[in-house]
Amino acid sequence: MYSGVVRSTTSRKVLTLVIIRKGSDILLGMKKRGFGAGKWNGFGGKVEPGETILEAAKRELQEECHLRSDSLREVGLIEFEFKGDPVLEETHVLTSDVFEGEPKETEEMRPQWFSIDNIPYHQMWLGDKYWLPLLIQGEQFKGYFLFEGEEKILNYELKTS
């Protein structure tokens, strides 16, 4: 947690977010329902009790787009906070370019490959344009984003390690 940031959070939700790469493409999914619906995003969700981060990331990748990967690496950790919401979302970002299967649409996500030169940032979470380029460059990073609603960032911090 960063110094100097005043927090009023009382609990944490641990989440995963997987970005699969293939050459100069990344795989995103259009979220069809629930939190973040209508946005392109990586694949992920809540870590269930008794699961490791890695197990949860693999499970969500398979559930949401039918890809399997035994080579996911954690490269980023981002805390998302929403003003007025006491829950801090601790999001573990993992990536790999080794996977099995073909991306397949599910009830949750419609997957699509995007060139890294043509990422649809205008239809993604607002903070993604800050940290996703770091992942693409192969960097490891830690970040914090304070949102007001879904469409405004009040404050953010991002550093590479």
Residues of this chain that interact with ligand 8DG (CB under 6 A) are 15-17, 34-36, 41-42, 44-46, 80, 89, 91, 125, 127-128
Site of tokens 């939190």: 35
C-beta of residue 29 within 8 angstroms of C-beta of residue 64: yes
Q: Tell me the closest approach of the beta carbon of residue 87 to ligand 8DG, in angstroms.
A: 10
Q: Can you point out the beta strands (E) in 32-152?
A: 40-41, 73-82, 87-96, 109-115, 141-147
Residue with nearest beta carbon to ligand 8DG = 45
* Cα angle value 160/53/145 (rounded, 5°): 40
Question: Least CB distance from residue 147 to ligand 8DG, whole Å?
Answer: 7
At its nearest, how many Å lie between ligand 8DG and the CB of residue 6?
A: 20
91 or 96: whose CB is closer to ligand 8DG? Answer: 91
Classify residue 161 as exposed, middle or buried by CB count within 10 Å of its CB (0-12, 13-18, 19+). Answer: exposed
Shortest Å, Cβ 135 to ligand 8DG? 10
Q: Which is nearer to ligand 8DG, 80 or 141 (CB)?
A: 80
